[in-house]
Amino acid sequence: MARYELVKRSVALITLTNPPVNALSSAVRHAIAKSMECALSDPKVTAVVICGENGSFCGGADIREFAGPLKGPPLVPLLDAIEAGEKPVVAAIEGVALGGGFELALVCHYRIAHSKARLGLPEVTLGILPAAGGTQRLPRLIGISAALELITTGRHISAQEALKLGIVDQVTEQNACEVAVEFALRAVAKPLLSRRVSMPCKPREIRSAAVMGIKRECLHGHEQDLGMVPSLGTMGRGIAVCLARVGISVIAVESENKLLETGRQMVIGMLERDAKRRGVSASLNLLKFTISLQDLKDVNLVIEAVFEDMALKKRVFQELSKVCRPATLFCTNTSGLDVDALAGVTDRPHLVVGMHFFSPAHVMKLLEVVCGPRSSSETIATAMSLGKRMGKVRVAVGNCPGFVGNRMLKPYIDQATFLLEEGDFGFAMGVFRMSDLAGLDVGWRVWKESGLTGSDVDPENPPRRRQGRRYCPIPDMVCEKGRFGQKTGRGWYMYDKRGGTNAKPDPLIQILLETYRSKYGIQPHNISNQEIIERCLFALANEGFRILEDGIAARPEDIDVIYLFGYGFPRHRGGPMFYASMVGLERVLERLEHYHQAHPDVPHLKPSPLLKKLVACGSPPVQKWREHIKTMHSHL
């Protein structure tokens, strides 16, 4: 009822043999159980392939046994044991994988399908529901709506559709069994945890954490001696407070005794005020301050919150790799740098994850958990669970420049500055106040690093264009005057003091704009509120559609949560994606097309393919968009 053989010296090949469709009779279930036992206990076996004889994987429960009493091993524990096994199991699907046969494939860690294979859960056509885990595993794998559709219709799908939905890992024209054996050999060294569809990964318990910050001023010194110059900055202080107030022991790293004392006083002050407000005693005994990285050797997790500089962060992670236990998780609070590049310099890339807090970290609710391609499911689950314990609204996102929130901000801010260039200064100033608050130098540094501005860029050749697209240099001109926003008391607005929050229009900015416009012969014109809103918000949502296409966010609701909790998007509008759906996707598309025609050198205004596709499909409601998205990030 199942043949067991060793192929390629280390792969156990289990072939179901129950003609005509290798249905899961009691004898077949018994044979699978025995074969798996052999495979898992034989040290020569490093991987397993399950296939079916005569070009058919498995037609499901053996309907010939339906009339009698259940005999032989029950299917559900058998399938659970296959999934839980410590050796990779690959399903080689030829012909059909239906009902229980499909459920058998779902417990395998990888699925290879022949191009002519068909898969489905036809139970509904027999008046029953999939009873061997299909109703749980399939939604986890492909999302609730797509799974519900397959479960409730019993529709058979092709191998190609299964690939598109993310059910199979590879489709082949060749012998699926041979391809699966080769695949299994390559899967041997890979972690299995994230391949177990049914098992929500268990997070680790975090009892102790370290928070490291390095202020910008220490950057130069740090280049000479990494270990001794860390210093807890604003983000580090906020994160340390968040950790201590939920009972986690925190080691805060400072660079020198003077800074140590200042940092200690600030954190203790924050915790005492916080405890007073909440009517509890401050958890000061959980805090330790140190200037020695050696003190981090036993912590469960480190949150790096150093100055936003890739080279510096890399050095910090290299140093941490030397000091910390091999199991310590490394989290980075970067707001947009490549998490995988940081993982790559450590001795534990699977234990590296982004935890992007928003400033001030002890107040702002949002936490983006950035999943690098090598972050393990356990690492991600731990970061998500820690965020929950800290009372954060957590969204798992993919790894790309700016992740979700800051990536979408770019086209939004670009539009605001282009509007500033074209029109008068009298429109709603949300973008500019926000930029003053965040610090104008942050974006300026990123633009310099990406070659958009700086001493080696000729601003006049060609003017107002960079890298083949429209570019507005006004923000650079503001920064060149040392106006970095609230922290310098001057930015787009003027403030009564450094760090002041009371923004007043600054005549110097008005003069700067007038001089700039006359230099480039720009005739300012009135810009309607409608155009301002459409160009800023539709460009924002348009980037959101691209983020969904790229698999950086799993669903539009995640983007909305990020904007509601991290960027002050008006609650009653529901977030940029919900807002776009309320305006009407046809309208958003039509306006973006209009603005892109008027500004062909602004690629962010070009409607994204997903937006076009959704409109072509009749503008489905937000919760249905996922069905139209091809790319799915396996961790999200």
Task: Please identify every residue annotated as catalytic.
Answer: 103, 123
Per-residue exposure over 479-517, b if at least 16 CB sit within 10 Å of its own CB, e if not: beeebbbbbbbbbbbbbeeeeeeebeebeebeebbeebb
| Cis peptide leading into residue 360 (ω within 30°) | yes
CB of 83 to ligand LOHRUJSQ, least distance (A): 15
How many residues are listed for the chain in this entry?
636
Are 212 and 292 spatial neighbours (Cβ–Cβ below 8 Å)? no
The residue range among 121-129, 341-349, 423-431, 567-575 that interacts with ligand LOHRUJSQ, by the rule CB under 6 A, is 121-129
Closer of 54 and 518 to ligand LOHRUJSQ (Cβ): 54
Closer of 75 and 559 to ligand LOHRUJSQ (Cβ): 75
Q: Identify the residue among 122, 236, 354, 398 touching ligand LOHRUJSQ (CB under 6 A).
A: 122
d(CA 361, CA 331): 15
Closer of 35 and 255 to ligand LOHRUJSQ (Cβ): 35
* Residue 132 in the binding site for ligand LOHRUJSQ (CB under 6 A): yes
Q: Identify the residue among 1, 16, 21, 282 touching ligand LOHRUJSQ (CB under 6 A).
A: 21
Residue with the two structure tokens 């910050």: 213
CB of 16 to ligand LOHRUJSQ, least distance (A): 12
CB of 172 to ligand LOHRUJSQ, least distance (A): 21
Positions of E strands within 156-231: 157-158, 170-172, 208-212
Closer of 129 and 310 to ligand LOHRUJSQ (Cβ): 129
298: nearest Cα among 378, 204, 208, 211: 208
CB of 12 to ligand LOHRUJSQ, least distance (A): 23
* Residue 485 in the binding site for ligand LOHRUJSQ (CB under 6 A): no
Q: Identify the residue among 40, 45, 124, 131 touching ligand LOHRUJSQ (CB under 6 A).
A: 131
358: nearest Cα among 242, 450, 265: 242
Closer of 130 and 263 to ligand LOHRUJSQ (Cβ): 130
Are 29 and 78 spatial neighbours (Cβ–Cβ below 8 Å)? yes
* Interface characters, 60-79, with ligand LOHRUJSQ (x: CB under 6 A): xxxxxx----x----x----
* Residue 129 in the binding site for ligand LOHRUJSQ (CB under 6 A): no
d(CA 409, CA 397): 15
CB of 48 to ligand LOHRUJSQ, least distance (A): 21
Long-range contacts, 146-154 (Cβ 8 Å, 24+):
146/626, 146/627, 150/120, 150/121, 151/121, 151/123, 151/124, 152/124, 153/124, 154/120, 154/121, 154/122, 154/123, 154/124, 154/125
Q: At what angle do helices 576-583 and 556-566 cross, to 10 degrees?
A: 120
Q: Identify the residue among 96, 142, 267, 306 touching ligand LOHRUJSQ (CB under 6 A).
A: 96
Instruction: Return all residues near 190 (Cβ < 8 A) that are at least 6 apart.
Output: 88
Q: For residue 113, report the phi and psi dihedrals to the nearest 5 degrees.
A: -120, 140
* Residue 593 in the binding site for ligand LOHRUJSQ (CB under 6 A): no
CB of 133 to ligand LOHRUJSQ, least distance (A): 9
The string of DSSP letters for 16-67 reads E--TTTT-B-HHHHHHHHHHHHHHHH-TT--EEEEEEGGG--B-SB-GGGTT
CB of 96 to ligand LOHRUJSQ, least distance (A): 5
CB of 115 to ligand LOHRUJSQ, least distance (A): 17
The residue range among 55-63, 507-515, 533-541, 570-578 that interacts with ligand LOHRUJSQ, by the rule CB under 6 A, is 55-63
CB of 148 to ligand LOHRUJSQ, least distance (A): 18
Closer of 98 and 615 to ligand LOHRUJSQ (Cβ): 98
* Residue 51 in the binding site for ligand LOHRUJSQ (CB under 6 A): no
d(CA 361, CA 366): 9
Q: Identify the residue among 83, 94, 123, 441 touching ligand LOHRUJSQ (CB under 6 A).
A: 123
What would the two tokens of residue 628 be? Answer: 């139209």
Closer of 122 and 411 to ligand LOHRUJSQ (Cβ): 122
Long-range contacts, 67-72 (Cβ 8 Å, 24+):
70/26, 71/26, 72/25, 72/26, 72/27, 72/29, 72/30
- What is the H or E stretch that residue 393 is in? strand 393-398
* Interface characters, 302-341, with ligand LOHRUJSQ (x: CB under 6 A): ----------------------------------------
CB of 132 to ligand LOHRUJSQ, least distance (A): 4
* Residue 126 in the binding site for ligand LOHRUJSQ (CB under 6 A): yes
Q: For residue 307, report the phi and psi dihedrals to the nearest 5 degrees.
A: -55, 145
- Bridge-based pairing of strands 352-357 and 366-371 is antiparallel
Closer of 66 and 520 to ligand LOHRUJSQ (Cβ): 66
Residue numbers of the site for ligand LOHRUJSQ (CB under 6 A)?
Answer: 20-21, 23-24, 59-65, 70, 75, 96, 98-100, 122-123, 126, 131-132
